[in-house]
Amino acid sequence: MRATTGFASACCVALFGVAASSLSAAVDAETQVLAKDLNAARTPGKIAAVIWTVRTDHCTLQVVFPNAGRIAQAMRDDPKLKQQRPSVQVWLLKADGSLIAPTQRAEPKKGIRQPYGVEMLFAFPLSADKEAVAAAIRVDDAFYIEPLSSLSHEHD
């Protein structure tokens, strides 16, 4: 009897695990995030990546900072570079020249491996996916312009 109970319990656990992973996959499939890597603002020792994303209810520009090792390498390559988190500002530009300002900005927490934090996140209304034609990114005193196209139209 004990062996049967153990076997039945093992089957229930296995079935529950399969059901849970199927549920997780269904949730992930419904929560689609479209993303594009923007290269213009990548700056050694300051900006590791800029990622444009379209989510279910908003768009984001994620400005990813380099880790401590990449910062140290950039400082060896450029002795004038100071270890200081860069000042970052972003805007989206419409075809008529007007701006789409961020609706939210999230600042990162700093740590030993991430002295500048992991990333800054700028949120924009969902309509920005269709309205924005370019992203303007300011890193300290340098300006970068990156053309954008609708990510949701690329996947229709």
Predicted confidence at residue 22, as pLDDT, reads: 30
Predicted confidence (pLDDT) per residue in 106-131, tens digit: 987 777 778 778 889 999 999 999 99
Predicted confidence at residue 124, as pLDDT, reads: 97
Predicted confidence at residue 107, as pLDDT, reads: 82
Predicted confidence at residue 109, as pLDDT, reads: 74
Sign of CA dihedral 144, 120, 38, 61: negative
List b or e across 124-150, with b for residues whose CB sees 16 or more CB atoms inside 10 angstroms: beeebbebbebbbbebeeeebebebeb
CA dist 66 and 152 (Å) reads 29
Along the chain (156 residues), what's the average pLDDT of each consecutive run of 10 residues? Answer: 41 35 38 87 93 94 91 91 90 96 86 80 95 96 93 65
CA dist 26 and 84 (Å) reads 42
DSSP per-residue codes, 86-107: PPEEEEEEETTS-EE--SEEEP
CA dist 10 and 100 (Å) reads 55
CA dist 152 and 138 (Å) reads 26
Give 4's DSSP letter: H
